[in-house]
Amino acid sequence: MELVELRFENYKAFHRPASLELRPLTLLIGRNSAGKSAAARLPLLLSRALSGRAESPVELEVDGVDFGASFLDLIHNRTPHGAIGLGAAFEDDTERRVEVWAKIQHVSEYMLQVVSAFELRVTGAPPLKLTWIGTNPLEDPAPYRLQLDGATREVNVAFRGLLPDPTIFAHLDRMGMTPSAMVFAEFTMLVSTVLARVGYLGPFREAPQRLYRFPGGNPESVGRRGANAPALLAADYLRRRGEVLQRVSEWYQRHLGGWPLSIARQGDSFSVVLRNPTNPAIEVNIADVGTGLSQVLPLVVQRQFEVVTGKTGGIEIVEQPELHLHPGAHGDLADLYIEAAKQQGARFIIETHSENFVLRVRRRIAEKQLDPDRVSLYWVDDAPQGGSELKRIEILPTGDVSDWPRGVFSEDFEEAKAIRAAQREHAWGSASRRMCSSAKTTPRGARWRGSSMPSSKGATSGKSTIPTPLRRAAGSRAMLAAARRGARSRSCGSPTPRRSTLPRTAGRTRS
């Protein structure tokens, strides 16, 4: 079973109901503080809330990730006595679907959270609904109205996080709904199992150290700040034939300057170093190289570890993987996740500010190396009614996009337009100065006397001997030249003449 959709309402920046469809590769783009992180981190929040072991409906710190100082920080605009709605949908290989939805009320007087409404839907079974009907938020268990398949009963229910205590299924048995009770019990356990495999890697990775101790165990995750990446490499170096280390080193060689990465053993400790490709005796500690090379290490290590071990299940949230990395390597980083997203059971939620990252995903789709059905792309932006909203951007099989929001990644185009405008203005200014210089050195009459434009009068008859179309063309050229002289005069500081300085022929359009 896999997590396929997130739902939320009045949650942080999102006032109105929103849903986020999750695919193997889900990308969130948008402005700073628009709400990308709030949406991306939601599976982590739900992993504790739907575990069946949480002490409160929503815990504000999960695996070291802080969601707020109080529950008010989760409510849009921090409204006192406000409520938020959180939900998720899961599907298995047979397309059976489980949907969980809960509304959590904040009781300001007691600084307490109460699950005021709960709904569980499972394919093939009637929905189970619970509505809080109590008046004392301190009651536990508390009175709820239970609705199932047209039947209603008042029951006392205790919640563990956002899930009702398993005693709820005993109530269903007494209502003569044993099959439904068994279905709900089974899928509640499955939901908890799926969300137990949520990983998170934040935007600020641990700074590298010069020296590390060899790990006593075998870590399988780099951790939320990537601090375990060196230990994972060292364990692989000592106990797994170094296959992960070899793959990480090859990736660094191909994409980050050609220097292989290795472990330098120093007694009971070790260092992570980069070696000169032409002289391996020269090594540089990773603490002494550019920040980008050390910041990307946890991402590369985690990806290669899962390739080697085959442990690709679960959900992984990654914020700004491209941080501190040169834009030229953003696409190569995207390829890491593209390859991982092709594996069965993998789910990645990636928040990024990198246009190159998104372009590489589109390119791989256009090259038929990635199925567009395995990608979700969302733009997080201001909603017309206030707050933020999610806008789905569909990537077509050609790599093109539909409904691309105005202004998304348009900064380079706007900058290019501004540069071109500045270049044109500079070129016009230079041309004006040259014309001014020419005007000061060439008598006005000489310019017309030297003109090759034919006379508009005959030599003897006083009538034009030039065909009318040619005469009109000559007049147009003269008008253009006069306009340029006027502009040149103004740019050179000369006053605009009161009367036209056009030759007489310019005004004659009839023979």
In 3D, which of 500, 482, 484 has the Cα closest to residue 492?
Answer: 484
For the domain covering 1-197+313-409, report its CATH number.
3.40.50
pLDDT at 497: 47
Q: Report CA-CA distances (Å) from 455 to 443, 444, 449, 463, 482.
A: 20, 18, 11, 11, 17
**Tokens 């980083």 correspond to what residue?**
333
Domains in the chain: boundaries: 1-197+313-409, 208-310, 414-452+465-507
SS3 313: coil
Cα 81 to Cα 102: distance, rounded to the nearest angstrom: 16
In angstroms, how far is the first alpha carbon of the chain from the final one?
Answer: 90
Q: Do residues 168 and 157 touch, judged by C-beta distance below 8 A?
A: yes
Cα 177 to Cα 149: distance, rounded to the nearest angstrom: 9
Tokens representing 241 are 């034939």
Cα 286 to Cα 207: distance, rounded to the nearest angstrom: 10
In 3D, which of 505, 93, 59, 43 has the Cα closest to residue 314?
Answer: 43
SS3 189: helix
Q: What angle do CA 52, 217, 2 make, to 5 degrees?
A: 35
Return the H-helix or E-strand segment holding 12: none
pLDDT at 432: 66
Tokens representing 40 are 């991306």
Residue type, 231: A
Q: From first to last of the 511 residues of the chain, give the pLDDT tens digit.
A: 899 999 999 999 999 999 999 999 999 999 888 999 999 999 999 999 998 888 899 999 998 899 999 999 999 999 988 999 999 999 988 888 999 999 999 998 888 999 999 999 988 888 999 999 998 999 989 999 999 888 888 999 999 999 998 888 777 777 776 666 677 777 777 888 888 889 999 999 999 999 999 998 888 899 999 999 999 999 999 887 899 999 999 999 999 988 999 999 988 899 999 999 888 889 999 999 989 999 999 999 999 999 898 877 789 999 999 999 999 999 999 999 999 998 877 899 999 999 999 999 999 999 999 999 999 999 999 888 889 999 999 999 999 998 887 777 765 666 667 777 887 887 777 666 666 666 555 555 544 444 444 444 444 444 444 444 444 444 555 555 555 555 555 555 544 444 444 444 444 444 3
The per-residue DSSP string of 417-478 comes to HHHHHHHHHHHHHHHHHHHHHHHHHS-HHHHHHT--PPPSS-SSSSS--S-HHHHHHHHHHH
Number of H helices, E strands in the chain: 13, 23
Please provide residue 155's backbone torsions phi and psi, each rounded to the nearest 5 degrees. Answer: -135, 160
